């Protein structure tokens, strides 16, 4: 693998602690705007694929929201429709 593969890839993450992050969404992959062309479910599948193949948690750990360790405090979740290019809505966690 070479560094050109990810030169124009943008992944949106949320920091949980100094070395644990939630990978929430992928906006660009190799310069292609996935946000405008894929639904959130499709982008999430693509993000999971990329993490499975390329992520090695030596320095920082990236999780998807479905794989966050038990007991982790989450303030809420984002909800999306099935249309490409639409923004999500934040829903607070039940207290």
Please tell me the chain's helix, strand, coil percentages from 3-state DSSP, rounded to the nearest 5. 25, 30, 40
- Specify the pTM: 0.76
Stated length of the chain? 95
**Cβ–Cβ under 8 Å, residues 19 and 13:** no
Determine the Cα–Cα distance for residues 55 and 62; give it in Å rounded to an integer: 8
Determine the Cα–Cα distance for residues 85 and 21; give it in Å rounded to an integer: 24
Sign of the alpha-carbon torsion through 64, 16, 62, 31 = positive
pLDDT one digit per residue (tens) for the chain, 95 residues = 555 555 688 888 888 877 778 898 999 988 889 999 999 999 999 999 988 888 887 877 888 877 777 777 777 778 888 889 888 887 787 75
């Amino acid at each position: 693998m070479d560094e050109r593969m990810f030169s124009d890839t943008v992944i949106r993450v949320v920091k949980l602690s100094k070395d644990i992050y939630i990978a929430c969404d992928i906006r660009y992959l190799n310069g292609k705007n996935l946000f405008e062309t894929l639904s959130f479910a499709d982008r999430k599948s693509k993000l999971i694929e990329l993490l499975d193949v390329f992520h090695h948690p030596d320095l920082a750990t990236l999780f998807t929201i479905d794989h966050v360790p038990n007991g982790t405090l989450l303030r809420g979740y984002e909800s999306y429709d099935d249309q490409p290019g639409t923004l999500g809505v934040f829903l607070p966690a039940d207290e």
